[in-house]
Amino acid sequence: MSYPHQIKSLEQYNEAYKKSIENPEEFWGEIAENFTWKKKWDKVSNWNFKEPNIKWFEGGKLNITENCIDRHLAERGEQPAIIWEPNNPEEKTRIVTYNRLHKRVCQVAQMLTNLGVKKGDRVCIYMGMIPELTYAVLGCARIGAIHSVIFGGFSAQSIADRLEDASAEYIITCDGAYRGNKDIPLKSVIDDALIGNKTVKKVIVYTRTRTPVSMIKNRDLWWEDEMEQAEEQVEKNGKVSFPAVEMDSEDPLFILYTSGSTGKPKGVVHSTAGYMVWANYTFVNVFQYQPGQVHFCTADIGWITGHSYIVYGPLSAGGTSLMFEGIPTWPDAGRFWEIVEKYKVDVLYTAPTAIRSLMAYGLDFVNNKDLSSLKVLGTVGEPINEEAWQWYFKNIGKEKCPIVDTWWQTETGGIMISNLAGVTPHKPAHATLPLPGVNPCLVDENGVEILGNSVSGNLCIKQPWPGIIRTTYNDHERCRTTYFSTYENMYFTGDGCLRDADGNYRITGRVDDVLNVSGHRIGTAEVENAINMHSGVVESAVVGYPHDIKGQGIYAYVIYDNKHTADENLTKQDIIQTVSRIIGAIAKPDKIQFVSGLPKTRSGKIMRRILRKIAEGETSNLGDTTTLLDPNVVDEIKNGALL
């Protein structure tokens, strides 16, 4: 397989970019020819941002698993599609060839069909990072069921909310998952999530840790039993088949929940054809992937990065995707580098938070490993600071690997702003240039576009690209108000951004009340709601503060009715426990300060700006506090600040 749509030079990039903006129909029409269609599209794109109503490749019929698997079988059936590295380095590696992947995905499709799953049904997947997770995702796609993968770090309550929002009828999970020296009891979390649930009919349980689990008659089934039966059905005379269901281009492929500045997480919905084209196009171009290379994306499939750059991007390109079950620091901080050496990894794609945490362990874990196979390095999820960038470039890439700093979002489906490895120049701490099809602009608070270079503003996108969000599940109005109503006729990203003298973009972080903690998106309102559920808490306000490793840490100001306990530290632990229960461990506050009041305007609005400054260690320049209802609380908060 070669990639006719791979850009090879700066000139080609400029040309492709120009065409994609001036004539997107022709541009994307040509790119779409590189895929397998059951029927070609009638119209390349059709959209308005007002409703929004966005369609790509309308009238086309396809199945994404034929593009990710079947079309590669003749040429590369015995090539590894997935290389799986277990959490424990002593355990055996698994190499899944395209032939094997095909068989397993057909089995899952058959198993789900046997259990009554149909096109359009929602299947929730809550598993660790094992090949079966990929089989489950693609098995859903093969029959047109909509997968909703939930990250293993979310609590039962978070899962319950997502199950309800999506009216999910099926769950695929594991007994447990290994992460570092911990066993996470996934099935038991699911059991808690199902208390009071009215929609789920079947729960399929894969055995990974052999942790004792409860199995409820007529509801819970063992994956192994169901897959065995399915194997007999899909394999006839040594030939494996399960027909891939015909999907419309615009049929939803998956839902992925993500946090916003208000309310509960929303289900971002991606379509089949547009998402596929975007995941593939960005994968092939940004990483400059070559057939046969080993691509190691360290994300979890519970996040969009795993969807697009472990599963759909690499597999649609017939690539080899390395899937790692564990964490970067166990058994020691050399784990990533050991994996790079072991599999001769070509492309390493990770998060700034991982780089910063490994930096702190020193070079002893790096310098005894052979990293000479590396050709391209990437980062995603949060701004990368210059120091971490230089460390990555020098010590991991040995100054010969380009670094792609890829800016994008759950809602964008794939990478939006990034250099193309070795083709367009990188610049430390800058995402650099938009990909073909991406028309970014900076606007001021009034929505007026800021032209020229060396400027900053709020980042918006003026035209749709194939991978753009289509709706938020079950609540289209929320999609409109969140992304398409702040500025007329533009998609609003929620990020602040600089454009330098050469037109390179540098993302500076969220401008709304969304935190980015270790590359995970967390809404401040969500954390406040969780804290407020704790008995004795009267009110709370949550802000982010700069954190050396995590990028941002969570700082909570809490008004607490202290008649219940005398021990502040125990109370803090209790509050943290409550947040873990309500959202999950990823949302635990790093610092909790008890206060007697919060700085509020006369209309009752919390002045977060002041709280943010105090959390950042700024005590003098707090701005105008005269409009506060009670200016005295500011002094008290300042004096008690945890720095």
Pairing of the two strands 170-174 and 122-126: parallel
Cβ at position 570, least distance to ligand WTA in Å: 34
**For ligand WTA, which stretch binds (CB under 6 A), given 53-61, 231-239, 376-384, 586-594?**
376-384
Which of 165, 382, 513, 528 lies at the binding interface for ligand WTA (CB under 6 A)? 382
With respect to ligand WTA, which residue has the nearer C-beta, 267 or 334?
267
Helices 568-582 and 524-532, packing angle to 10 deg: 120
Residue 93 or 508 with smaller CB distance to ligand WTA? 508
| Buried/exposed code over 499-509 (b: 16+ C-beta within 10 A; e: otherwise) | beeeebbbbeb
Nearest distance from residue 33's CB to ligand WTA, in Å?
A: 28
The DSSP output letter for 481 is I
Among candidate residues 347, 361, 354, the one with its CA nearest the CA of residue 519: 354
DSSP bridge partners of 123: 147, 170
Q: How far is the CB of 547 from ligand WTA (least distance, A)?
A: 15
Q: Which of 321, 419, 516, 571 touches ligand WTA by CB under 6 A?
A: 516
- Please identify the residue of the shown chain whose CB is closest to the bound ligand WTA: 410
Angle at 384 (CA atoms; ends 182, 586), nearest 5 degrees: 30
Using CB under 6 A as the binding rule, whether residue 552 contacts ligand WTA is answered as: no
Q: Say if residues 420 and 476 touch (Cβ distance below 8 Å).
A: no
Q: Which of 381, 437, 464, 467 binds ligand WTA (CB under 6 A)?
A: 381
Identify the sign of the CA torsion 28, 30, 35, 36.
positive
How far is the C-alpha of 118 from the C-alpha of 526, rounded, in Å?
33
Q: Minimal distance in Å, beta carbon 270 to ligand WTA? A: 12
- Of 432-440, 493-501, 533-541, 590-598: span binding ligand WTA (CB under 6 A): 493-501
Among 67, 410, 471, 518, binds ligand WTA (CB under 6 A): 410
Q: How many helices (H) and strands (E) does the chain have?
A: 21, 33
Q: What is the SS3 string spanning 389-433?
A: HHHHHHHHCCCCCCEEEEECCHHHCCCCECCCCCCCCCECCECEC
Q: Which is nearer to ligand WTA, 27 or 389 (CB)?
A: 389
Using the rule CB under 6 A, is 259 a contact of ligand WTA? Answer: no
Q: Is 380 in the site for ligand WTA (CB under 6 A)?
A: yes
Number of shown-chain residues binding ligand WTA (CB under 6 A): 23
507 is an interface residue for ligand WTA by CB under 6 A: yes
Which positions from 415 through 444 interact with ligand WTA, judged by CB under 6 A? 431
Pick 388 or 637: Cβ nearer ligand WTA: 388
Lookup: tokens for 165: 């929002």
407 near ligand WTA, judged by CB under 6 A: yes
- Phi, psi angles (nearest 5°) of residue 543: -135, 170
Beta bridge partners of 449: 443
- Closest contact distance (angstroms) between CB of 410 and ligand WTA is 3
Residue 384 C-beta: closest distance to ligand WTA, Å:
7
Question: Cα–Cα distances in Å, from 141 out to 205, 253, 311, 329?
Answer: 19, 7, 12, 33
> Which region among 105-113, 405-413, 446-454, 567-575 touches ligand WTA (by CB under 6 A)?
405-413
Query: How is 85-113 classified by DSSP, letter by letter?
Result: E-SSTTSPPEEEEHHHHHHHHHHHHHHHH
Using the rule CB under 6 A, give the single segment among 191-199, 275-283, 310-318, 492-500 that binds ligand WTA: 492-500
**494 touches ligand WTA by CB under 6 A:** yes
Name which of 176 and 402 has its Cβ closer to ligand WTA: 402
Check binding of 271 to ligand WTA (CB under 6 A): no
Two structure tokens written together for 542: 């949550």
Q: In this chain, which stretch among 15-23, 303-311, 335-343, 561-569 interacts with ligand WTA, using CB under 6 A?
A: 303-311
Give dist(CA 561, CA 579) in Å, integer. Answer: 18
In whole angstroms, give the CA distance from residue 459 to residue 505.
Answer: 10
Which positions touch ligand WTA (CB under 6 A)? 258, 303-305, 380-383, 405-410, 431, 493-495, 507, 509-510, 516, 521
